Amino acid sequence: MKNLIVILAVLLTIESCKMEKKEQEVEVPEIPMKDFFKNPEKTGYSISPDGKYFAFMAPVDQRMNVFVQEVGSEEAKQLTSEKDRDIAGFFWKGNDRILYMKDEAGDENFALYGTNIDSGGVTAYTRFDNVKTQIIDALRDDKDNMIVGLNKVNPQIFDAYRLNLVTGDLVMIAENPGNISGWMTDHQGRLRIAMATDGVNTSILYRPNEEAEWKNVMTTNFKESFSPQFFDFNDSSVVYGTSNIGRDKSALIRFNLEEAKEVEELYKNDNYDISGASYSRKRKVLTSVYWTGEKVERSGFDPVINDIYKKVGDKLPGVEVYLTSGSDDESMYIVRTMSDKTRGNYYLYNVTSDDLSLITEISPWLNEEVMAKMEPITYKSRDGLTIHGYLTLPVGVEAKNLPVVVNPHGGPWARDVWGFNPEVQFLANRGYAVLQMNFRGSTSYGREFWEASFKQWGQAMQNDISDGVRYLVEKGIADQNRIAIYGGSYGGYATLAGVTYTPDLYACAIDYVGVSNLFTFMETIPPYWVQYREMLYEMVGHPEDDKEMLAKYSPSLHADQIKTPLLIAQGAQDPRVKQSESDQMVKALNDNNIDVQYLLKENEGHGFRNEENRFEFYQAMEEFLGKHIGNVNANSN
């Protein structure tokens, strides 16, 4: 018996080695670059309030437009015909009207448009020069009116207006005195809360009704925050919200506005900030709470929604499942699936019959069986912080001495998340390992981790990125001579800082709409960011008080330290990171005889949205990386 066990163990070991060898020797086809970055076949599904129709976006001549389709029908009707720019997003307003947002050439001055699903024709509701529209309350129960914010009077602030969708009339219902950064309504659509700021301190203003005077409920430094989410269903003086006051991690709480005090802590996570909550409009109950750990997570308060998630999850094993849209009577839901290897599918779920039917695959041309796994990792920074991140390794290749693309995220007060990322999958398909890290300042890890980033651009934040590179080198995963860095927005700054302050760490770099000069960046922020200028001074640095530091960590002022070839991409209409940021960097590199390729698009803003521009950028990226860090076929289309 003992000999039989030994023989079986040997056979199992041999079989395991065969399987491991077979997995490593998988031949992965080189997928055309355009397959990763072309517009999805159909996406953004949303069901009408009565559950009879769903709307979605699909490409027409390379631009994303809105379509509507009756549930049970195979025929879809095109509602919009935008040719210059993708529609940024849409939503139902009643059962027969679709509203959508669109800007011009990437200027982010989004305007509100609408169309009727039966009669067609497009109405521009808030199209004004150099004016941005915010949705304050779509007033779901009022089919003809809604509340919007417009910086029409003063470009730095948003007043609240009631918009009549039948007549097009705009009536100001709350004038911004100059310090209001946001407005909030109750369940009846009454403007009851205003968030005010002096640039550093934030106040919650409240009124019991629209005739009453505003009163200050609380004032906190911006480092402490209470973010109201929605009003209680039974007590109109109580709101649900997330708060980190007296805590490191934000928790979901109930807060009494009349008494100016926290009533109850409903949910907390010891490791991550709570990001938000949802509720049932029909049943008037709290349903779920959300946070982002290694993945987006939820915890349910409501047995009805919990049961739906369980039933749908059982039918769709192996993928993440999200209820993205529901009918008012909660009998029909749009279900979206997703994983790290696929953009996923859309389904229609009938709660009454427990029937789940496939609507569409989002990118059916991408075979998830040859996509790479995005693995959560952690490593220690040089000063002892735990840095969370994701490592994606090319399929079928031994994880040893690989060329690596380091990809710091934008924000910087944002974070990378687990899920399908076309850039990451494209790079992995070309044979590169991809490292994404949530350096200090990344959101969801608590206040202490966030504050550790203040005045650390190019310094400790950059060290967290460099420490991730060294982690891969020490593990033997990375070939230290074939490491690239690529990022957009703040990630573009981190890219430039990486090749400026650690010039021997990277073989090449790609800066996408990145900040190059900390002085000019803060001088050219959009007008509606001016309210937060003092906050930016505290988080990034003051142009006078911290002049030496900002000068030291502005890459364009130290281009003589760079020896790494660069590819720089910029949108000429970018309102956040102006074209001048890239222009001055390119000039400084040219003045110092550094190899730089500059891709400037006149019809783009903060990132390339038009499909043909994406293709050009990623083609340039492929050729650039292939030349500098990999034996890669750079001619795929």
- Round to whole Å and give the CA distance between 22 and 480: 28
Cβ atoms within 10 Å, residue 454: 16
> Can you give the pLDDT at residue 589?
96
> Can you give the pLDDT at residue 175?
95
Task: Place 574 in a pLDDT band, splitting at 50, 70 and 90.
Answer: confident
- Round to whole Å and give the CA distance between 457 and 592: 24
> Can you give the pLDDT at residue 7?
36
Residue type (1 letter), 316: L
> Can you give the pLDDT at residue 547?
96
Residue range 622-631: mean pLDDT, rounded: 92
Task: Place 19 in a pLDDT band, splitting at 50, 70 and 90.
Answer: very low
Between 631 and 112, the more confident residue is 112
Q: How many residues does the chain have?
A: 637
- Round to whole Å and give the CA distance between 606 and 505: 27
Angle, helices 460-474/490-501, rounded to nearest 10 degrees: 70
pLDDT of 636 strictly over 90: no
Q: What would the two tokens of residue 476 be?
A: 């033997």
Judged by DSSP in three states, 110 sits in coil
Task: Place 109 in a pLDDT band, splitting at 50, 70 and 90.
Answer: very high
- Residue 61 bears catalytic tag: no
Q: What would the two tokens of residue 143 be?
A: 């089919």
Could you report the per-residue pLDDT of 361-376, keeping only the tens digit for each?
999 999 999 999 999 9
List 186, 574, 582, 628, catalytic entry: 574
- Residue 409 bears catalytic tag: no
CB 127 within 8 A of CB 114: no
In a domain, 460, yes or no: yes
pLDDT of 637 strictly over 50: no
Residue range of the domain that includes 478: 375-587+616-628
pLDDT of 96 strictly over 90: yes
Angle at 414 between CA 158 and CA 300, to 5 degrees: 90
CB 238 within 8 A of CB 255: yes
* Alpha-carbon torsion angle 418, 422, 427, 429, nearest 10: 100
Could you report the per-residue pLDDT of 36-53, keeping only the tens digit for each?
999 999 999 999 999 999
- Residue 357 bears catalytic tag: no
pLDDT of 25 strictly over 60: no
Residue 249 DSSP code: S
Residue range 519-523: mean pLDDT, rounded: 92
In a domain, 500, yes or no: yes
List 489, 516, 556, 582, catalytic entry: 489
> Can you give the pLDDT at residue 22?
41
Q: What would the two tokens of residue 464 be?
A: 């967290």
> Can you give the pLDDT at residue 399?
95
In a domain, 113, yes or no: no
Residue range 339-344: mean pLDDT, rounded: 96
pLDDT of 406 strictly over 60: yes
Q: Is the pTM of this model over 0.95?
A: no
In a domain, 596, yes or no: no
Residue type (1 letter), 175: E
The pLDDT > 70 percentage for the chain reads 95
Per-residue exposure over 91-129, b if at least 16 CB sit within 10 Å of its own CB, e if not: bbbbebbbbbbbbbbbbbbbbbbbbebeeeeeeebbeee
Could you report the per-residue pLDDT of 452-486, keeping only the tens digit for each?
999 999 999 999 999 999 999 999 999 999 999 99
In a domain, 636, yes or no: no
CB 422 within 8 A of CB 250: no
Burial class (CB in 10 A: 0-12, 13-18, 19+), 301: middle
In 3D, which of 310, 273, 218 has the Cα closest to residue 447?
A: 273
Total domains, the chain? 1
**Where does 165-273 show beta strands of DSSP type E?**
170-174, 180-185, 191-197, 201-206, 215-221, 226-231, 238-243, 251-256, 261-267
**Which residue stretches of 430-478 are H helix?**
447-451, 460-474
- Round to whole Å and give the CA distance between 125 and 131: 12
> Can you give the pLDDT at residue 631?
59
In a domain, 600, yes or no: no
Could you report the per-residue pLDDT of 126-157, keeping only the tens digit for each?
999 999 999 999 999 999 999 999 999 999 99
In a domain, 13, yes or no: no
Residues 6+ apart with CB under 8 A from 299: 267, 288, 289
Could you report the per-residue pLDDT of 578-610, keeping only the tens digit for each?
999 999 999 999 999 999 999 999 999 999 999
Mean pLDDT of all residues belonging to the chain: 93
Alpha-carbon distances, residue 291 vs 265, 288, 393, 448 (angstroms): 16, 10, 26, 17
In a domain, 431, yes or no: yes
Residue range 377-388: mean pLDDT, rounded: 98
Beta bridge partners of 227: 242
Could you report the per-residue pLDDT of 1-12, keeping only the tens digit for each?
334 333 334 333
> Can you give the pLDDT at residue 454?
97
- Round to whole Å and give the CA distance between 495 and 513: 11
CB 88 within 8 A of CB 101: yes
CATH of the domain at 379: 3.40.50.1820
